[in-house]
Chain A
Amino acid sequence: MSIELHRLISWFSPAFPIGAFSYSHGLEAAIACGDVADGATLKSWLTHLLRHGSGWNDCLLIVSAYNADAEAEIQQLRDLAIALSAGKERQLESCLQGDAFAKTVSVVSKQRVEGGPLPVVVGNVAKMQGIVLSDLLSVYLHAFVSNLISAATRSMALGQIEAQQILAELFPQIDDVATNALSASLDDVGSCSFLADLASMQHETIQPRQFRT
Chain B
Amino acid sequence: MLDRLNPPKLQRARGRAEVGFVQKSGKSKLQHLHQAGCLKAILPNTHEKEPEVVFVNTAGGIAGDDQLNIDVSLTQRTSATFTTQTAERVYRSNGGAGRIDVKLQVGIGASLCWLPQETIIFDGAHLKRKLDVELSTNSEILLLESFMLGRKAMGEQVTTGAVNDRWNIRRDGKLVFAEALRIDDVSSLLGPAALQENLAFATMVFASPDAHLHLERLRAILQTCNARCAASAWDGVLIARFVAADAYVLRKALIPTIENFRHAAMPRVWQL
A47 / chain B contacts, CB cutoff of 8 Å: 191
**What total of chain B residues lie within 8 Å of the partner, measured CB to CB?**
37
Cβ of B196 < 8 Å from any Cβ of A?
yes
Cβ of B188 < 8 Å from any Cβ of A?
yes
Residues of A151-194 at the interface with B, using a CB-CB cut-off of 8 Å, are 188-194
- Rounded to whole angstroms, the CA-CA distance of A195 and B199 in the bound complex is 12
Tell me which of A66-74, A82-90, A128-136 binds B: A82-90
Cβ of A142 < 8 Å from any Cβ of B?
no
Which of B176, B182, B191, B243 is the one whose CB lies under 8 Å from A189? B182
Knowing A189-B180, A198-B243, the reply to whether A79 touches B174 (Cβ < 8 A) is yes
What residue of chain B has the Cβ atom nearest to residue A45's Cβ?
B193
- Rounded to whole angstroms, the CA-CA distance of A201 and B241 in the bound complex is 9
Residues of B153-194 at the interface with A, using a CB-CB cut-off of 8 Å, are 164, 166, 168-169, 174-185, 188-189, 191-194
Cβ of B195 < 8 Å from any Cβ of A?
yes
What residue of chain A has the Cβ atom nearest to residue B232's Cβ?
A87
| CB pair A190 B241 closer than 8 Å | no
Contact mask A39-57 → B, CB, 8 Å, 1/0?
0010011111101110001
Cβ of A113 < 8 Å from any Cβ of B?
no
| CB pair B192 A79 closer than 8 Å | no
Smallest beta-carbon distance A39→chain B, Å: 12
| CB pair A198 B230 closer than 8 Å | yes
Smallest beta-carbon distance A52→chain B, Å: 6
**What total of chain A residues lie within 8 Å of the partner, measured CB to CB?**
40
| CB pair A80 B192 closer than 8 Å | no
Contact mask A5-41 → B, CB, 8 Å, 1/0?
0000000000000000000000000100001100001
B261 / chain A contacts, CB cutoff of 8 Å: none
- List 7 additional A-B contacts (Cβ < 8 Å) besides A80-B178, A191-B181: A48-B191, A85-B234, A190-B181, A192-B188, A195-B193, A198-B230, A201-B230
Give A residues with C-beta under 8 Å from B. Answer: 30, 35-36, 41, 44-49, 51-53, 57, 76, 79-80, 83-89, 91, 188-198, 201-202, 204-205
In the complex, 24 of the A-B residue pairs with CB atoms within 8 angstroms, ordered by the A residue number, are A36-B192, A48-B193, A48-B194, A52-B183, A52-B184, A52-B193, A53-B193, A76-B175, A79-B174, A83-B178, A84-B180, A86-B232, A189-B180, A190-B180, A190-B181, A191-B182, A192-B181, A192-B182, A192-B188, A194-B198, A194-B241, A195-B193, A204-B232, A205-B230
